[in-house]
């Protein structure tokens, strides 16, 4: 992004370059701190507690319409907040699986509150991300906890059905191609027109216009009826479209490489189960992988390019990757060395 300042035309690009520089530092700090299983557990609990606090604020102070914000930095939009909270459900669920004693019930108690907050956001992107994340959870769950997952998953769907109110399900019904009202039809047309406009922006600026350029250019490429009425602008409702417009071909290549690395690392960590990876480390793999899949899918319906929770998850995955391989090497060395006997004098 700093290199892109040489040709970026959007005035706020330097702000984005500084933001991502901070994200690099944040990534490094998390990667260095999460050096053992205990610190990963503490970090995971911190994330669950943070999502519960957001959800408790939403539960305590109900709003009319959509829940747009709970006061947290970087989650001041209903869609981004919903995507953030779905990662909290993933971690709470897997902490329930693997944590012994009373703590597992604390994790279980947090899930209905976090799910309720997601429902209050009315975010269709977060809802689809949550459903697809469930499929990822099935694949990434260690075999030890697979039977428990088969029991809990139907209960989670039942809880979702019970907690969701009629207005939530009416909004989720608009996900289908067949629209039933004029408002729903206009919403679908708006998203199609935004994608078309972003593709035209990319054709005109294949190397990218700079951070948040898709928002700044929207009045030139969209009819006024498709712009937000309060600010006369429209942001991309798709992370990849935002990357294409803001950062062009170089940014898209970097994003694809990052997605491939995430998929390969998760597949590699999953293959370690047959080599004796501990179920506890396997649950962290499942929680992180489920969260990243949910964010990737949600990002096809909203712009999560600057969502900080993604930095946390990717840094955790890198740290966990090192820890899992180191754990297997230590396990192999302990088996080769065998029991040690101390000779009495």
Which structure tokens are listed for 193?
Answer: 């027109």
Please report whether residue 157 resides in a domain.
yes
Specify the number of domains making up the chain.
Answer: 1
More confident residue, 175 or 278: 278
Rounded-to-integer distance, Cα 277 and Cα 147, Å: 18
pLDDT digits (tens, 9 = 90+) for 107-143: 989 999 999 899 888 888 888 999 899 899 999 998 8
Q: What is the DSSP string of 145-165?
A: GHHHHHHHHHHHHHHHHHH--
Please report whether residue 50 resides in a domain.
yes
Please report whether residue 144 resides in a domain.
yes
Cβ(244)–Cβ(202) under 8 Å?
A: yes
* pLDDT number for residue 341: 47
CB atoms within 10 A of CB 247: 25
Residue 343 clears pLDDT 60, i.e. is over it: no
CB atoms within 10 A of CB 311: 17
Cβ(177)–Cβ(214) under 8 Å?
A: no
User: What's the chain's average pLDDT?
Assistant: 86
Rounded-to-integer distance, Cα 169 and Cα 254, Å: 37
Residue 309 clears pLDDT 60, i.e. is over it: yes
* Mean pLDDT for the stretch of residues 65-90: 86
More confident residue, 335 or 310: 310
More confident residue, 295 or 71: 295
Signed CA dihedral, 159, 163, 166, 169: sign only: negative
* Mean pLDDT for the stretch of residues 147-153: 77
Please report whether residue 266 resides in a domain.
yes
Rounded-to-integer distance, Cα 110 and Cα 270, Å: 27
Q: Whole-prediction pTM value?
A: 0.88
Please report whether residue 340 resides in a domain.
no
The residue range of the domain holding 220 is 3-176+186-324
Please report whether residue 225 resides in a domain.
yes
Residue 29 clears pLDDT 80, i.e. is over it: yes
Return the percentage of the chain with pLDDT > 70, whole number: 89
pLDDT digits (tens, 9 = 90+) for 223-263: 777 777 667 777 888 999 999 999 999 999 999 999 999 99
Please report whether residue 344 resides in a domain.
no
Please report whether residue 32 resides in a domain.
yes
pLDDT digits (tens, 9 = 90+) for 161-219: 777 777 777 777 766 655 555 555 566 677 788 888 999 999 999 999 999 888 888 88
């Amino acid at each position: 992004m700093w290199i892109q300042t040489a040709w970026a035309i959007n005035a706020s690009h330097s702000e984005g370059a500084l933001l991502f520089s901070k994200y690099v530092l944040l990534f490094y700090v998390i990667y260095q701190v999460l050096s053992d299983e205990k610190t990963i557990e503490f970090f995971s609990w911190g994330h669950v507690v943070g999502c519960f606090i957001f959800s408790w604020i939403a539960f305590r102070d109900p709003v009319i319409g959509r829940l747009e914000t709970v006061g947290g930095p970087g989650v001041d939009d209903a869609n981004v907040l919903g995507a953030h909270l779905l990662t909290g459900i993933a971690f709470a669920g897997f902490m329930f699986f693997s944590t012994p004693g009373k703590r597992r019930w604390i994790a279980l108690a947090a899930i209905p509150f976090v799910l309720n907050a997601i429902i209050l956001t009315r975010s269709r992107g977060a809802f689809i991300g949550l459903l697809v994340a469930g499929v990822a959870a099935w694949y990434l769950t260690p075999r030890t906890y697979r039977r428990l997952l088969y029991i809990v998953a139907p209960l989670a769907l039942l809880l979702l059905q019970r907690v969701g109110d009629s207005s939530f399900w009416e909004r989720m019904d608009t996900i289908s191609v067949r629209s039933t009202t004029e408002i729903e039809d206009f919403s679908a047309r708006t998203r199609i027109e935004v994608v078309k406009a972003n593709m035209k922006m990319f054709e005109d600026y294949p190397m990218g216009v700079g951070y948040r350029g898709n928002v700044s250019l929207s009045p030139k490429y969209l009819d006024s009826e498709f712009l937000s009425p309060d600010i006369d602008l429209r942001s991309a409702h798709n992370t990849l479209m935002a990357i294409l417009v803001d950062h062009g071909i170089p940014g898209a290549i970097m994003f694809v490489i990052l997605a491939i690395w995430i998929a390969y690392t998760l597949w590699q960590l999953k293959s370690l189960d047959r080599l004796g990876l501990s179920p506890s480390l396997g649950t962290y793999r499942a929680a992180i992988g489920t969260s990243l899949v949910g964010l990737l899918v949600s990002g096809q319906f909203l712009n999560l390019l600057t969502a900080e929770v993604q930095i946390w998850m990717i840094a955790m995955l890198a740290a966990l990757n090192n820890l899992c391989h180191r754990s297997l090497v230590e396990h192999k060395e302990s088996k080769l060395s065998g029991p040690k006997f101390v000779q009495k004098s």
